[in-house]
Each structure stands twice: as C-alpha cells, then as structure tokens.
C-alpha cells in the first residue's frame, strides 16, 4: 500500500497484533506517516481461532479491508449464533440463541486474519525485535525506549502492546497489573470429521457451548470448516489462586490430555469425545484488567485493544473491540481538521467514545462467564440461565460505529472551543 502523506504528524504504533495492524492500515489509507514496532522477529498471533461478530465486521468494512480479509482467510460471512447445551450426560438444549439475517460474523484462524494486514503494510514501516521498556511523553510528542538501546520519537505513541502493556504505565502514571481471573483454559484443534462425529452436523454451521458447574466448553469451526477450535474452561472458586500461574511462570504452557480430562469427569459423551481428540492441549491462565481503566489516553499517548481493555473471552468480543478501537482512532486522526497541534484533544475524543463502550464489554464478558458456569444472577436452573443469556450480544453486535464517529467529532469540537490554547482550537467539524 502506497499513499501520499497528507498530515503534518507521525504516529508510532507499539505492537503488531490485530489491533496494531488494523490501526496501521487505517492510518496508511489516509496518508498518515506511521512506524510499527514489534518485539518479536516477525508479526504473529498466539492462539488458533477467533470469532469476529457483526460489530467487528462493520468496522472491517468501514476500514475498507473486509473483502481482503475474506479473500485471504478463505472464509465466508455467516450467521454464527450459539447453540447452548448442558455439558452433563443428557446434553439437553439450554438455549438456541436467535439471530437476525444481518448478524453475520466470521470464524477465522488468527494467522490468516493477520496475513491480510501484513500484506497491506509496506515493509519499510515495520521494525522487529523492538521490545519496548518504557514510553515517556512531553509537550511535543512521546518517545519509546527499546531493550536494544534504541529509541523512537513521534508526535503520538499508540500502545497496542497487549494485556501486559508497557504503554499503559505511561497513560496511567503507574503500573496496572492484569489480574488472574480464576479460570484456566485448555485449547486444541481437531479435524472437522472428529467434531461432526462428537457433536453432529450442526457444528458445521453453528458454534456450540457446553455448560456446567464451574466449567464450560466453546466449540466452533475454522479454516473453511476443515478444523474445529475447542476451548475448554475450568474455574475454581473461591480458591482461584490455586489454579493460577506460579511466580514467573508463562501464562501459556503445554499441558496433557490427562490433565484436561481430569477437570471434566462425569461430563457427557459429546464432551468426552471432543476432548479425547485433543492429544496435546495448551493451557492458558486467563487474566483481565479489573477494575476497568479510568482513561485510555494521557497527552500524546494512547492505548487500544488488550492494552486498554484486556477482557475474558466469554463473549468472543476482544478482537472486535480492538478492531473498533482501530477504526475510531484512525477516523479521528484522519479528519481534515486534525493536525499536530490538536492531537491531544483528538486522543481525548477517542477516549470519550471508546472507553465507556469497551469497558462495558469487558465487564459483561466477565459476567457471561459466570452465566456459562451456572453462577448467573438468575440461578443455576435452565429457566434462569436462559433468562440471563437472552439478548446478551445485542449491545455488542447492534452498534452503529458511524454514530460513535459523529459523537466523537462533536465532542472534539466542543473541547476545542473550550481549549485555553488557541493552537489547539479547530474550525467547525
């Protein structure tokens, strides 16, 4: 992608995951000068499949990359609402989540999704083996300092550096450590034939959730229905710390089939068949930002994605929220009136619209995990669980991002008019 530069400012993006590369491509399309710094030796994502709901699809379409995502991922858009069943031996139907014809989503392998943005990124803007140690801001911009002794100064620095974000410290003025949620996850991929044999042909078209006391399993197809992604959750309460990582232990480690199966003794045959096909699961210690952050920006520094609202995966909304962040921020930075002089106000407008929504999704994702494991507010009987599950995705999926852009630009005009510094004021938007 080659676009003539149209702005008088430069953006440094720390982190080359989904959020960082979505932002990079959005800014490049508007002719904004960027540099992307990735601590690994190449772009890549940890994990297998991700689900992108209708809100994420809307953001990708507005970013102008949806067709390319579909082409490279070789996945169709489809209505992907869940079938929820009991994980116990009868596998009774708990709730068949209804969907509208417009509720189109995408189940895709992370690597294929990321490939879309890698191919749109000019090689010269990507810098690898750049582990950021700290970010310092001043009145004129911000500087990222890297482990190799180098540094980079830009007019604004955007931290897309994940839940263990270094940039977050520059935004909050203190270290905010993610908290262990009390839940571990075993992950594995199995052939589609094995998934159909265990569950039935419904798995070809609908993701499934198996629910039970303190445990649940999420199952959905990826890779053009060649593979089934199996995500196996186990929560121990109130002694959550007994499940947590030891000091200094990575959050993702190898596990064994025997350890995974030990958490699911007494569950039904569909669950057992699924787990028997996962011979070498990985084990994840799930963390989240709790409580939600009070701001996503500070001066010339901002954060997005997991750095800002690292959430539990129970609504499958983490990727979608990062994509929304990237879209809104790229739109605001691309406004004709956005210049080097008013970048701080533009970042405030980003925070104004994104933080309340993303923090709500973060909190709701935690609550949904409680429902899946029979700890919801309406009780552990099927009637109560169905009540708690009704319309749970509506506020996430059925959201107008165009309204967010309009709200942000109106807020930007308002705070610009109130700014004591004439150089920060902008003409009517």
Would you place residue 241 in the very low, low, confident or very high pLDDT band (cuts 50, 70, 90)? low
Listed in sequence order, the residues at least 6 apart from 216 whose beta carbon sits closer than 8 Å to its beta carbon are 87, 209, 210, 233, 369, 372, 373
Would you place residue 100 in the very low, low, confident or very high pLDDT band (cuts 50, 70, 90)? confident
Residue 223 has pLDDT above 90, yes or no: no
Q: Quote the percentage of the chain above a pLDDT of 90.
A: 79
Residue 224 has pLDDT above 80, yes or no: no
Residues 357-373 have a mean pLDDT of 98
Tell me how far apart the alpha carbons of residues 33 and 35 are, in angstroms, rounded to a whole number: 7
Residues 114-126 have a mean pLDDT of 92
Domain ranges of the chain: 10-79+105-177+290-424, 179-288
Q: What is the pLDDT of residues 131-163, one digit of tens each?
A: 999 999 998 999 999 999 999 999 999 999 999
Q: Which range scores top for mean pLDDT: 59-73, 114-128, 320-334?
A: 320-334
Average pLDDT, the chain: 92
Closest CA to 347 of 428, 424, 427: 424
Least confident span in 41-45, 179-183, 217-221, 324-328: 41-45
Tell me how far apart the alpha carbons of residues 64 and 284 are, in angstroms, rounded to a whole number: 34
CA of 428: how far to CAs of 352, 410, 413, in Å? 19, 9, 6
- Helix, coil or strand: residue 395: helix
What is the CATH architecture of 10-79+105-177+290-424? 3-Layer(bba) Sandwich (3.50)
CA of 394: how far to CAs of 26, 61, 311, 385, 390, in Å? 26, 19, 18, 17, 9
pLDDT recorded at residue 304: 98
Residues 391-417 have a mean pLDDT of 96
CB 55 within 8 A of CB 396: yes
Q: Output the six-digit token pair for 154.
A: 């830009």
| Helices and strands: H and E segment counts in the chain | 14, 20
Residue 283 has pLDDT above 90, yes or no: yes
Active site residues: 187
The C-alpha angle 150, 334, 119, rounded to 5 degrees, equals 60
Residue 428 has pLDDT above 50, yes or no: no
Residues 173-188 have a mean pLDDT of 95
Task: Give CA torsion, residues 46, 184, 255, 241, to 10 deg.
Answer: 120
Q: On the CB side of 422, how many CA atoms lie within 13 Å of its CA?
A: 0
pLDDT recorded at residue 427: 47
Would you place residue 194 in the very low, low, confident or very high pLDDT band (cuts 50, 70, 90)? very high
What is the CATH architecture of 179-288? 2-Layer Sandwich (3.30)
């Amino acid at each position: 992608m080659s676009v003539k530069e149209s702005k008088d400012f430069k953006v440094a993006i720390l982190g080359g995951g989904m959020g960082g590369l979505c932002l990079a491509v959005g800014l490049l399309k508007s002719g904004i000068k960027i540099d992307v710094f990735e601590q690994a030796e190449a772009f890549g994502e940890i994990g297998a499949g991700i689900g992108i709901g209708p809100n994420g699809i809307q953001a990708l379409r507005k970013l102008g990359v949806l067709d390319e995502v579909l082409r490279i991922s070789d996945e169709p858009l489809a209505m992907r609402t869940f079938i929820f069943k009991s994980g116990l031996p009868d596998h009774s139907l708990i709730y068949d989540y209804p969907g509208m014809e417009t509720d189109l989503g995408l189940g895709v392998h992370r690597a294929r999704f990321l490939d879309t943005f890698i191919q749109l990124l000019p090689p010269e803007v990507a810098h690898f083996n750049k582990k950021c140690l700290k970010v310092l801001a001043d009145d004129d911009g911000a500087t990222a300092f890297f482990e190799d002794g180098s540094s980079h100064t830009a007019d604004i620095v955007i931290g897309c550096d994940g839940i263990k974000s270094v940039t977050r410290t520059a935004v909050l003025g203190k270290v905010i450590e993610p908290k262990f949620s009390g839940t571990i996850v075993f992950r594995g991929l199995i052939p589609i034939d094995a998934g159909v044999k265990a569950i039935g042909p419904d798995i070809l078209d609908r993701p499934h959730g198996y629910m039970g006391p303190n445990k649940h399993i999420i199952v959905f197809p990826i890779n053009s229905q060649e593979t089934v992604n199996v995500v196996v959750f186990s929560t121990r309460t109130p002694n959550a710390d007994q499940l947590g990582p030891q000091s200094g232990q990575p959050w993702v480690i190898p596990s064994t089939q025997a350890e995974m199966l030990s958490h699911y003794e007494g569950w039904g045959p569909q669950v057992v068949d699924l787990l028997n096909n996962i011979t070498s699961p990985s084990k994840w210690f799930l963390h989240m930002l709790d409580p939600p952050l009070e701001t996503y920006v500070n001066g010339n520094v901002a954060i997005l994605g997991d750095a800002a609202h690292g959430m539990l995966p129970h609504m499958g909304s983490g990727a979608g929220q990062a994509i929304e962040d990237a879209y809104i921020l790229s739109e605001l930075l691309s406004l004709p009136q956005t210049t080097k002089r008013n970048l701080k106000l533009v970042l405030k407008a980003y925070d104004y619209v994104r933080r309340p929504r993303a923090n709500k999704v973060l909190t709701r994702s935690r609550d949904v995990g409680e429902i899946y494991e029979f700890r919801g507010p309406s009780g552990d009987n099927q009637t109560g669980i169905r009540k708690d599950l009704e319309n749970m995705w509506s506020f996430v999926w059925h959201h107008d991002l165009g309204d967010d852009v309009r709200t942000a630009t109106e807020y930007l005009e308002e705070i610009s008019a109130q700014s004591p510094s004439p150089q920060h004021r902008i003409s009517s938007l």
